[in-house]
Amino acid sequence: MSITYQPGKLVSLRGRDWIVMPSDDPDLLVVKPLGGSDDEIAGIYLPLAIPRDEPKETQFGEPTGDDLGDISTARLLYDSARLAFRNGAGPFRALAKLSFRPRSYQMVPLVMALRQESIRLLIADDVGVGKTIEALLIAKEMLERRKIQRFAVVCLPHLCEQWQQEIRDKLDIEAVIIRSNTQARLDRQIQGDTSVYDYYPYQVISIDFIKSDNRRDVFVQQCPELVIVDEAHTCARPTRRIKQPATALPSAESSGRQARSAAHSSNCHPALRQAGRVSLPARVTQTGV
């Protein structure tokens, strides 16, 4: 890419202002509309030298007396720009687009996830620590890095609305709830024979709805790249308990090993573990350690 079109530079093209994005091909100029979404990102093949697609440097007119405003508006603009630059200057791209400020310990699962080629992570913090926020941080960062385009949350039926509200409030993303009383309405909004798992990019799915054999098989084939399993211990297969004499108590050392093993093992259904390239069993409420 020419030095004139370095990433972050503003150019004028097709009657609109654009931001130059990183590109691996020096002959391909990748641009995003100023104030637009990622869906509007376009590529221009420079060797074609089409006159109407020739980028020009953006020029902003000098301010006039009509542009004067009040001090409160100017202060609001100044604070918003300062906070956006501060949050976007770090190694994480998602921080500038969050409606909350995560605590330092809530960044640990995100750092662990970024070190994995295929993210498979079990978050088993204590109650009230913020496992939902930790899981949503990973989802948002993967979206901003364009490593995923969609994600799904599999949770208990009575938690679907709570997850939908958390995603809306924390990430400014509108997710659909998929369960027995919403599937028919969602299907009517889809044209063609596309399933709800393939059509909607952000999903909150009831585990009671998805666990049937026919629905689970379709979900495994068409699920998003990232799957967050809430209350992952509820996905465990039932095990038969073996009665032991009251005097046969395990030693403290063996009990510690069992507790650590239970806290770090994922007992999700095999179909859910194999769902997609990226799988994230996100939440176990009690670890036992």
pLDDT tens digit string along 259-287?
A: 333 333 344 444 444 443 333 433 333 33
What residue ranges do the domains of the chain occupy? 3-57, 95-238+266-281
pLDDT in tens, 124-139: 888 888 899 999 999 9
Spans of the chain below 70 pLDDT? 1-4, 84-90, 235-289
What confidence score (pLDDT) does residue 89 get?
56
Q: Global pTM?
A: 0.61
Phi, psi of 51 (to 5 degrees): -55, -45
Helices 160-171 and 131-144 meet at what angle, rounded to 10?
A: 50
Class of 95-238+266-281 per CATH? alpha beta
Q: Which conformational region is residue 15 in: left (phi greater than 0), alpha (psi within -120 to 50 degrees), or beta?
A: left
pLDDT in tens, 17-42: 888 888 888 888 888 888 777 778 88
Listed residue (115, 176, 109, 104) closest to 136, CA to CA: 109
Q: Which residue has the tokens 């970024």?
A: 114
Q: What is the CATH number of domain 3-57?
A: 2.30.30
What confidence score (pLDDT) does residue 90 get?
67
User: Residue 25 is which amino acid?
Assistant: D
On the CB side of 131, CA atoms within 13 Å amount to 21
What confidence score (pLDDT) does residue 241 get?
60
Phi, psi of 240 (to 5 degrees): -80, 125
How many of the other CB atoms lie within 10 Å of CB of 58? 15
Collapsing DSSP states into helix, strand and coil, what is residue 198? helix
